[in-house]
Amino acid sequence: MQLHPNHRSMWMAAPSPVLARQQKYWLFRPDALTAGLRQLGQFNLRVINEQVDGLQPAEAWMLQREARSPIWVREIMMSINGVDCVFARSFTPLQASHGLWQGMRRLRTRPLADMLYHNPQIIRSPFFACRLNEQQPLYGTARRIFGAHAPSARQLLARCSVFWRSGQPLLVAECFLPEFWPLAAKSAYEQGLDPFRI
């Protein structure tokens, strides 16, 4: 399924040339992000929020649905060795959350990867990446998590992709906190791993 960001979108289909090699790697790393995070240290996931919401205009192109249509949203935080490193915002049309994507409502503290990578009917779109700005819905997730202590939007790099199953989309957007980058490099070095081939 081809996605075409509208002219107001910050999401890009290729990494910015100004990014470091490590940043480009993690933003466009294939397969499940949680698998890579688990190789860096003790992994933990906690749910921040699950609720019905309206599809934001800035995200409508991702689901190929009308803005303000009802969606089911799940927001989580992932940590490595007790350090919060990546937060994620996932959503699907509300009707799909009761149908093809109903498993999303039953995950609790399990990652979405548990239901996304074992079904040949599920197709993943290419990745998009960006540096956040304050108007993006994903930065709203940061504000809900950190309140007044949220990092500035310009400090946050994020990626997203859409999983499709029988015409029903599920968007997964993952945002790397500033604390992630030194921790990832240090953990990979201590384990004798190439941080770009984990």
pLDDT attached to residue 117: 84
The predicted structure's pLDDT at residue 100:
95
Distances (CA, A) of 148 to 83, 134, 152: 19, 13, 10
What parts of the chain have a pLDDT lower than 50? 1, 7, 198
Distance, CA of 86 to CA of 21 (rounded, Å): 18
- pLDDT tens per residue, range 6-44: 545 689 999 889 999 999 999 999 889 999 999 899 999
Report long-range pairs for 105-111 (Cβ below 8 Å, ≥24 apart).
105/50, 105/72, 107/74, 108/47, 109/45, 109/46, 109/47, 110/45, 111/32, 111/34, 111/45, 111/76, 111/78
pLDDT of residue 194: 57
Tokens of 4: 């075409």
Q: Is 157 exposed, middle or buried (0-12, 13-18, 19+ CB in 10 A)?
A: buried
- Give yes or no for a contact between 90 and 173, defined as CB atoms under 8 angstroms apart: yes
Domain positions in the chain: 21-190
**pLDDT given for residue 185 in this prediction:** 86
Are 79 and 44 in contact by the 8 Å Cβ rule? The answer is: yes
CATH superfamily assigned to domain 21-190: Chorismate lyase-like (3.40.1410.10)
Strand 122-124 versus strand 128-131 pairing type: unpaired
Give the pLDDT confidence score for residue 7 in this predicted structure.
46
User: What distance in Å separates the CA atoms of residue 198 and residue 194, rounded to the nearest whole number?
Assistant: 6
Residue 89 in 3-state DSSP?
A: strand
pTM flag (> 0.75): yes
Residue 102 CB contacts under 8 Å (≥ 6 apart), including other chains? none
- pLDDT at position 3 is 56
Per-residue model confidence (pLDDT) at position 182: 93
Cα separation, 54 vs 99, in Å, equals: 18
Q: What pLDDT, on a 0 to 100 scale, did the predictor assign at position 186?
A: 78
CA atoms within 13 A on the CB side of 75: 17
